[in-house]
Chains A and B, each alone.
Chain A
């Protein structure tokens, strides 16, 4: 196991689960470049570390740029087998790191980019991010966010990279399949994992996987892959009403019927 216990993630944290599984699928021959965020701060408390693979953290927004440099260095040294992984949250890749992400994709850096999306700036106390869903209450949008969630996987796909996929911690076989597929390809590959956050979203720590599953079962989160431009649904979306997913989380408890309907309509049309 390459992400060992003893880290200070919250009980029931989805990101440590996701990354533990990702590293199982990638194997040992990797170098991870991580952005500042929940996972970085909790797993690298000097003088200890939870990582058993080489890890570098520089700042919040440059996971992909650092990864590009690492990969170039490996290639120059004749090492074509070690994979370089850029790991960041929805903040580090979707907001503050957006420019660096886009640059890396356009440049065709041969790296695997993984976004662990807990739909807010969790590390600093659940402030809203561009990937926070509509109406969600966060500490900087206490009355509910007024904008729809930024569709980062689609933006990434618009860069025409070899592989883009979405994943969920409730569907681990699907996630592992996607990681293993990505590992065999070259060029920029992007996997976006949906990570429920018990502390931030407001549900009991035991329900993390259940909430992730409900997201897929209500079509709030869709699992697909785009391989060289061809999109394929990998897990059939469910037909449960979105309220089953939304009302189980404190961040959506204040939603009116009209707001829920708005969300349902948008999901039905997608």
Chain B
């Protein structure tokens, strides 16, 4: 019996692409040193360091821009989201 109110698939919220919430988006510039501070502070946990650069998953990024605010190298800039 599968109970209607139990969720059996862990992490299934990934189906919900919150990226379409954005009004603004962060852009990682060449100044990025790959320090990983943005990775730590992202509330969604969707930043990874790939080849020593921060890579943001825009399927989920809500555009809060904590990453831009916290980046010690000021390597992330705020841009308007294109619709």
Contact = CB atoms under 8 A, between A and B. Distances in A.
Interface of A: 1, 3-14, 16-17, 20-21, 43-53, 169, 172, 198, 204-210
30 contacts: A5-B14, A5-B18, A5-B46, A5-B57, A5-B60, A6-B14, A7-B16, A7-B18, A8-B16, A11-B43, A11-B63, A11-B64, A12-B43, A12-B65, A16-B43, A17-B41, A17-B42, A45-B13, A48-B13, A49-B7, A50-B11, A51-B10, A52-B10, A53-B10, A169-B41, A198-B64, A206-B64, A207-B66, A208-B64, A209-B41
A21 B40 contact: yes
Task: Tell me whether chain A's interface is mostly helix, strand or loop, or mixed.
Answer: loop
Interface residues of B, number: 32
A14 B46 CA distance: 15
Nearest to B63: A11
Interface string B21-60: 1000000000000000000111111100000000001001
Contacts of B69: 206-207, 209-210
Contact of A52 (B11, B66, B68, B70): B11
Nearest to B6: A46
A158 to B, nearest CB: 33
Interface of B: 4-5, 7, 9-18, 21, 40-46, 57, 60, 62-66, 68-70, 78
